Amino acid sequence: MFGIAGSHLLANTQRDWANSQCIVVYGPDLAATDPMSIGPVIDARERAMEVVVIDSRTTVTATKASHALRPRPGTESIAMRGILRLLFDNDWIDAEFVREATNGADALRAELAAYPVERVAHDCGIPQAELNRVAQVIGKSRPIQVMTGGWLAAERFDDDDLRLCAALVALRGSIGIPGGGLNLLNASPFDCEEWLGAESIGAGPAPLALEEILLERPESLGALVLDGDPCARLAGGQAARTALAQVPFVAVLGTYENATTYHADVVFPMASWLECEGLVANGNGRALQWHHRVTPPPGACRSHLEFWTDLATAFGFAQRLPWHDATRARWNRAAAEWALRRNPWTRAVTVDDLDPERSPPGGVLWPCTERSQIAFENSRFARGDVRGAPNVLFQRNRAFPSGTKRFPNADERLTFPQASRDAAQAPPDDVLLLVPGVAVDHVEAYSGIAVPRAGTTLPTLAIHPRTAARLGLADTDTAVVSNARGELNGIVKLTDTVAPGTVACTALPWMTGANLSAWSLRAAGETACTVVDIRYVASGSKRQPTVFVSTGIIGP
C-alpha cells in the first residue's frame, strides 16, 4: 500500500511520537514485551494526548491507556471496521488528503456498509456507546498514529488487519506529518526475503515457513539446521512435530536444552549477543547501532556468523562470502560493512559511524542514503538526539529516500486494497474462546530462555468468574485443553482481567510431553483463537472439567 515492504514501515521515530494527538495500539503489549517503547507512549498520555488500545486481552499496556477497547477474541478486525465505518458516517475524514493522495476510498466505504455499529457492537461483545466513544476520540484527533506488530504480536495479524490500520491513518490524513503514520514495530532496514528472491538457488528460494515444508513435502528434507527453539511455537501441532521427528538429520544451533534440541542429532553451542560484537538493526526507533561484546564466549560457543562461514568453508564456497578474506576476529565487522553498502536504505552508513567508541553514541537513523544525512537535526522546530533525518517518512513535497516520489508506488498514491479475506465471523454467544499467550518473563532468543525450567509446573487458565460459575469451576481446579494435536493441563485462576466467555492461557514453551504438543494452539498465522466447548470426564469420585478444542477457527 505504501510502496515499501512492511518490514520497513516505521513511519516515524520514538522522539516524534509525542507529536501525536492520538496513539492507537492495535495488538502489541509494549509494556510487557518492549518496555523501552512504552515510555514514549506513557509520556504522550501524560501530556494529555489520547492512547487507545484495541486488544481482546487485558494487557499491561491497556491498563495505561486512555481508552481500552476489548473485543471478543478473533473479532478485532470487525471492531476496526466498525471504527472506520463511524469515521465515514460522521464525516471524520480528511477529505483533502484522501482526494489528493489515495485511491479506492469509495470501494472501502462500500465494503464498510456491511458493518453498522449495532452489528459490530454485538459481534465484538462491546457496548455501542464505548465503540462510539473510541471512534469519536480517533475522529476528533489529528494527527493520529497506529502501532501494531511488535516482538510477539506480529504473528497474530495478517495483511487484512494491517490494511485496516493503514486505512485508519490515511483517512485521518495522518501520513507524512509529525506525530502521524503507521508503525509496524520491530522494523528493520534489512529484508532476508528480498535477498533470497534476488539470489535464489536452483529453481527458486525455499519456503521460509518450516511448517509448510514439514506438512506439505516432508520427503524433500534430507537434513535441517534449526536456529534457537522454533519447535516451541511450531504451527501444525502434533502433525508437524511428527514430521520433524522423521527428518533423517537435524542440527540445532542453541545454548540451552529446549523443545527443539529434543529432536536434534547434534547441537552446536552458540554465543549470545553479549558474547560477540555486531550490528543492531531491529527495533522500534529506526536507529542502526553497533555493539561491542561484553564478555568472551565460554568453551566451544561460537557466533552464528562463524558457524555459517565455517560450514561454507567445509562445502568449498567460502570465497563467495565477502567477509571471508578478513581475519576471523573481523568477520562480524566486515559482514556488517558489506550489508550496509548493499542495502539502499543504509548505503551511506559505515560501521565506524555506528560505533559508540568512534562516533557519538545513539547510532544513525535509517533510511540514510547520503553522507550529508549523518548529522544531528538542528532547526528552529527540533533538535535531534540521534543523528539522521528525516524523522517522518512520506512527507508532502519531499521525495522518498532513494527515489523521486513521495510514495514509491507507480502512481505516487496510496491505494486501499480490497479485503484479502472475509472478516472474522463472531462466535455464538454460548461457546467458549481459548486465548493462548506467552509468558511475560519468557524471552525467545538464540541463547534460550531467560527463566529457569518450569519442570512439571502447570500453566494458568485464566477464566472470568461468571464463566467459571456457568461451568462449575472453582479457583485452583485442574482443567484440560485438548484436541487432535494434543492436550494441555492447567490450573484455573478466576480473574476479571479476561472477558466473559474466554479462557486465557499463558502456555510456557519449555513444557514437555502432552503440554508441549498443545503449544500449536497458538499457531503462528493459523489461529487467532479457537472455538471450544466444555465437557466432563470422570476422575475418581470427582468430575474433572475438560476443555475440548473443536476444529472451528475464528479469525485468520
Q: What sign does the CA torsion over 390, 392, 393, 399 have? A: negative
Q: What sign does the CA torsion over 383, 385, 389, 394 have? A: negative
Q: Is the pLDDT confidence value at 52 over 80? A: yes
Which residue shows C-alpha cell 477497547?
Answer: 69
Picking from 253, 241, 258, the residue whose alpha carbon sits closest to that of residue 443 is 258
Alpha-carbon gap, residue 91 to 218, rounded angstroms: 53
- The answer to whether 443 and 510 are in contact (CB under 8 A) is no
**368: Cβ contacts below 8 Å, ≥ 6 apart:** 288, 345, 346, 347, 348, 349, 374, 388, 401
More confident position, 80 or 405: 80
Residue 135 is placed in which grid cell? 471512534
Average pLDDT over residues 497-515: 59
In this predicted structure, what is the pLDDT of residue 423?
65
Task: Please provide the distance, in angstroms rounded to a whole number, between the alpha carbons at the two ends of the chain.
Answer: 20
Q: What is the pLDDT of residues 451-492, one digit of tens each?
A: 334 444 677 888 889 888 887 888 988 887 665 555 667 888
Average pLDDT over residues 90-105: 94
Q: Is the pLDDT confidence value at 159 over 70? A: yes
Where do the domains of the chain lie? 6-188, 192-280+293-324, 432-554
Residue 270 is placed in which grid cell? 552458540
Band (506; pLDDT cuts 50, 70, 90): low
Domain 6-188 belongs to what topology? Dimethylsulfoxide Reductase; domain 2 (3.40.228)
- The answer to whether 325 and 52 are in contact (CB under 8 A) is no
Q: Residue 411: helix, strand or coil by DSSP?
A: coil
CATH architecture for segment(s) 432-554: Beta Barrel (2.40)
Bridge partners, residue 505, by sequence? 436, 461
Q: Is the pLDDT confidence value at 366 over 50? A: yes
Instruction: Give strand ranges (E) for 284-426.
Output: 287-291, 364-365, 376-378, 383-387, 414-415
Which residue shows C-alpha cell 566451544?
Answer: 300
Instruction: Reply yes or no: is the peptide bond before residue 143 cis, omega within 30 of 0.
Output: yes
More confident position, 192 or 438: 192
In this predicted structure, what is the pLDDT of residue 8?
86
Average pLDDT over residues 292-313: 92
CA distances from 544 to 12, 436, 530, 537 (A): 52, 21, 21, 6
Q: Is the pLDDT confidence value at 231 over 60? A: yes
pTM of the model: 0.82
Alpha-carbon gap, residue 37 to 413, rounded angstroms: 30
* DSSP state, residue 357: T
Percentage, residues of the chain above pLDDT 90: 36
Alpha-carbon gap, residue 331 to 328, rounded angstroms: 5
Band (117; pLDDT cuts 50, 70, 90): very high
Per-chain mean pLDDT for the chain: 79
Picking from 178, 129, 174, the residue whose alpha carbon sits closest to that of residue 19 is 178
The residue type at 310: D
**145: Cβ contacts below 8 Å, ≥ 6 apart:** 11, 12, 17, 20, 22, 23, 24, 169, 174, 179, 180, 181, 182, 183
Which residue shows C-alpha cell 484479502?
Answer: 420
Q: For the domain bounded by 192-280+293-324, which CATH number is listed?
A: 3.40.50.740
Q: Is the pLDDT confidence value at 552 over 70? A: no
Q: What is the pLDDT of residues 169-227, one digit of tens each?
A: 999 999 999 999 999 988 888 876 666 554 444 444 444 578 778 888 888 889 999 98
In this predicted structure, what is the pLDDT of residue 544?
45
- Please give the angle made by the CA atoms of 263, 265 and 268, to the nearest 5 degrees: 100
- The answer to whether 445 and 228 are in contact (CB under 8 A) is yes
Percentage, residues of the chain above pLDDT 70: 77
Alpha-carbon gap, residue 51 to 30, rounded angstroms: 13
In this predicted structure, what is the pLDDT of residue 400?
81
Alpha-carbon gap, residue 482 to 501, rounded angstroms: 18
Q: Is the pLDDT confidence value at 521 over 50? A: no
Band (392; pLDDT cuts 50, 70, 90): confident
**Do 6-188 and 192-280+293-324 fold alike per CATH?**
no
Q: Count of alpha carbons within 13 Å of 87, Cβ hemisphere only?
A: 29
Average pLDDT over residues 78-106: 95
- The answer to whether 137 and 22 are in contact (CB under 8 A) is yes
Residue 550 is placed in which grid cell? 473443536
Q: Residue 527: helix, strand or coil by DSSP?
A: coil
Per mean pLDDT, which range of 309-313, 345-349, 365-369, 453-457 is the poorest?
453-457
